[in-house]
Amino acid sequence: MASYKELMSQKKAIEAQLEEARANEVAGVIEKIRSLMADYGLTAEDIAKRRRGRPAGSGASKPKSELPPKYLDPKTGKTWSGRGRQPAWLGKNPKRFLIAEEA
């Protein structure tokens, strides 16, 4: 079995080979990308703005505005906008809790 020092020297040699192989392949990939960009008339800006689906960070770009309340519980002062799960305090006759519209 090889000693620790021998294995470490082998590791360094393999890492050097990996770096060299990567450098050679990256150069070829960059040349291929440049060639394709020239063939299709693309610029770096074209590449940066083209994405699949929504752009990053656009999921929460619009802040959700709160809806005005439509119902009011006079005992507790709680309100409900009419969206989402109906609160229990509305009961079977929610019309009696309607807030009068200001005109």
Structural domain boundaries, residue 71: 65-103
Show the tokens assigned to 33.
Answer: 């990308």
75: in domain: yes
pLDDT digits (tens, 9 = 90+) for 30-79: 999 999 999 989 888 887 776 666 555 555 556 777 889 999 998 999 99
| Rounded CA separation 78/97 (Å) | 11
- For the purposes of burial, counting CB atoms within 10 Å of the CB of 89, is it exposed (0-12), middle (13-18) or buried (19 or more)? middle
79: in domain: yes
pLDDT digits (tens, 9 = 90+) for 4-37: 999 999 999 999 999 999 999 999 999 999 999 9
Number of structural domains (the chain) is 2
